[in-house]
Amino acid sequence: MNTADLLLPTPWWPTILLAVVLLADIIMSIRPMKFIQDCLDGVGFPRDWWWALLVIKSLAVVGFVAGLWIPGVAISATIGVITYFCCAAYAHIRAKFFGQAFWLNCLGMLALSVIVFIVLL
């Protein structure tokens, strides 16, 4: 086994699972459902910047798919997603916005991302 093969996701399915979950999040966020609007408003994220979240998540999905063939990209995308959800958790804590969006959506996605990262190591 060469060194590059060590940087490809093995097993591959956790990477794809996280990509599919993020893709579903993107689809729900194109025309944000009420719970997404409430979450973003609740943490004080400016509506003029909501599009940036779609771009970030889309780049992560592309990274996960590309990472199946390009060494190191999937783990880098996973680190980026973990960072994204750490920032989201910080925004919730700072705004004292601790509803279901924080406990289930934000921390749930953070936990899933960390689990995928651990599996990829």
Per the domain annotation, does 87 fall within a domain? yes
Rounded to the nearest 5 degrees, what angle is found at the Cα of 109, between the Cα atoms of 86 and 5? 90
Per the domain annotation, does 26 fall within a domain? no
pLDDT score at 87: 97
pLDDT score at 4: 64
Per the domain annotation, does 89 fall within a domain? yes
Number of domains in the chain: 1
pLDDT tens string 24-80: 999 999 999 999 999 999 999 999 999 999 999 999 999 999 999 999 999 999 999
Per the domain annotation, does 113 fall within a domain? yes
Per the domain annotation, does 107 fall within a domain? yes
Count, residues in the chain: 121
Instruction: State which residues form the domain around 107.
Output: 33-120
Per the domain annotation, does 21 fall within a domain? no
pLDDT score at 7: 80
Q: What is the 3-state secondary structure (H, E, C) of 57-82?
A: HHHHHHHHHHCCCCCCHHHHHHHHHH
pLDDT score at 3: 64
pTM: 0.92
35, 93 Cβ separation under 8 angstroms: no
pLDDT score at 100: 87
**What percent of the chain stands above pLDDT 70?**
95
Per the domain annotation, does 92 fall within a domain? yes
pLDDT score at 10: 87
Q: Residue 10: left if φ>0, alpha if ψ -120 to 50, beta else—which one?
A: beta
Per the domain annotation, does 7 fall within a domain? no
22, 112 Cβ separation under 8 angstroms: no
Average pLDDT over residues 80-107: 94
Check residues 9 and 20 and name the one with the higher pLDDT: 20
